[in-house]
Every structure is written in structure tokens, then in C-alpha cells.
Amino acid sequence: MMVRYRLFIFLFFINAGLSIATPYRVLAFYTAEHDKAHISFVREANKWFSEKESEFNFKYESTDDWQKLNEAYLSRYDIIIFLDTRPETPEQRQEFENYMKRGGAWMGFHFAAFALDSSAYPNDWHWYQDTFLACGQYVSNTWRPTAAVLKVEDKDHPITNQLPERFLSSPNEWYRWEHDLRDNSNIEILLSIDPSSFPLGTGPKVHEIWHNGYYPVVWTNKNYNMIYFNMGHNDIDYEGGTNRELSSTFSTGTQNHLIINAMLWLLQKSKSSHTR
């Protein structure tokens, strides 16, 4: 399986016209200040992406300095990632919007899409929530973090055509959103929660256990070089008071392949956007 996958990656680079000699540059932004589950994910992501550099021909850097979200600094990189939050100042937000409209490439995880009125991350950036991500604000989540069977919605998409039709994810806290992404023609849903996952979550609150419904977990907006993953929340021993990590987001091979496929796809799209 791994040999076939590496051959696929090699052919992907060749067919996309991407150099296999010069490493591509990836910059991840994070905050990692509050929820221990999100901090755990950020640490894990920084380690995992760094370990994949030589295998997949990219150079990974990460920063918690959101002042670097500006045109001059971003011009050094081929992809940017939001690991756990989003920019909050008007200037940074405008820089990000301009970057995406210029053909920049973006990958976001889990809490990077969170917005909720009357919270520390209010729903006050409507281009990002309603146009770019198109999901609107957060509505609810499952609890505890639980693995789910994920269903590939589009087998023909470049990042999913090497995946099985269904696979088991790593444990995660799954989000429900304000808007139904199926109603938005700009959005291409790539993976959703398969009904065989229900009931999903363990509670203890009744509303934290989902018994039915349709929940997209990976999607892209056709107007931008972007992809969003709802994954990115590790299970933590809050109740026992140890704050010990009980799960790992990057523990599932198929899910990891999906993330790497997405990175290579974004590289291709970013290259095409800048060479028109």
C-alpha cells in the first residue's frame, strides 16, 4: 500500500508540473493558548508536518505571530495553514482575503472555522464565515471526541481518488454548522460523516450525541485554492484532572494520506494561479 502511495505521489508531482527538486514552502499559523485539546493538536501537527518534509518535498514552518499575515511575508510561501484559530484584527483579515483572491493556497483545521456570537471568537467576519468557508457560524458539537466512519462524497476529486469509499477517522470533536453546504453551488463537499457512525459521541449531555443528520467534514470552495478539515481536536483527560492526551489526530494512515493529497493538490492549484 505504501509503495503504491509513494508512486502515486511521484506521478502527482510529475503530472502537475511540480518540481521534485526544489522544496515547496509551507507556513502554519497558530495561537495554542486556551483549549488543551487544541494546544495538543497544534503541537502534534507541527511535529507531524515537520517529519513529512523530506518525504513529500516541502519545507514546513510555523508561527504564532499573526503580524506575519501580510503580503510581503506570505509571498515567500506556497501554502499557508491555520491550525487552530483565525486572524482577528481588521488589517490581518483584509490581508488574508487579498491573499486568497490573488490565488494563494490555504488549508484550515477544526477550530480555524469556529465563530459564535457572544463568544471569544464572535461571528463578525462574514466574508470568511459565509463566503469563503460558507458554513456560517458554529451551532453544536459531539462530545467526547470520537472516531467516525467518513464517507468520500466525490471519488473523482484529485485528493480522494486514492482513498477507500469509507474509512475510520481519528477521534475528533465534530462540528455542526449554521448553513447547509449542499445548498451552496460554490462548495464541493469531499467527505461527510457516514450514517453508520451513529450514534456519534458519548455525552454525557444528550445533545452531544448525534443520532442522525448530514455533516460535511472536509470541503473546498471552487472560487479559491482552499480546503477545510473539521479534524483537529484531540481527546484529553479533563475529568480525571491529569490533562493527559488520550488520542492523536495523526494516528490514522488513510486520514494522513488525505491531508498530504490535499497539500499536493493545493500546490498544483497555487502554481496554476500564479502562472496564468
Between CA 99 and CA 83 the distance in angstroms is: 17
Output the CA–CA distances (angstroms, integers) from residue 223 to 74, 105, 152, 183, 242, in the order listed: 20, 11, 21, 16, 44
- Give the residue from 260, 220, 202, 274 showing the smallest Cα distance to 45: 260
* pLDDT of amino acid 275: 43
Long-range contacts formed by 112-121: CB under 8 A, 24+ apart:
112/82, 112/83, 112/84, 112/85, 112/86, 112/228, 112/232, 113/86, 113/138, 113/175, 113/228, 113/230, 114/138, 114/175, 115/86, 120/34, 121/85, 121/86
Query: pLDDT (tens digit, 0 to 9) for every residue of the chain, 276 residues total?
Result: 554 555 455 455 545 555 556 789 999 999 999 899 999 999 999 999 999 999 999 999 999 999 999 999 999 999 999 999 999 999 999 999 999 999 999 999 999 999 999 999 999 999 999 999 999 999 999 999 999 999 999 999 999 988 999 999 999 999 999 999 999 999 999 999 999 999 999 999 999 999 999 999 999 999 999 999 999 999 998 888 888 898 999 999 999 999 999 999 998 887 666 543
8 A C-beta contact, residue 152 and residue 191: yes
* pLDDT of amino acid 268: 85
Paired with 108 in beta bridges are 82, 228
- Cell numbers representing residue 255 in the block: 486520514
* pLDDT of amino acid 243: 85
- Give the residue from 219, 228, 149, 141 showing the smallest Cα distance to 184: 219
Between CA 185 and CA 45 the distance in angstroms is: 31
8 A C-beta contact, residue 218 and residue 226: no
Domain ranges of the chain: 24-274
Helix (H) or strand (E) holding 79: strand 79-82
Between CA 193 and CA 171 the distance in angstroms is: 13
Q: Which CATH number fits domain 24-274: 3.40.50.880, 3.30.70.1050, 3.90.1150.10, 1.10.3720.10?
A: 3.40.50.880
* pLDDT of amino acid 98: 97
Helix (H) or strand (E) holding 41: helix 36-51
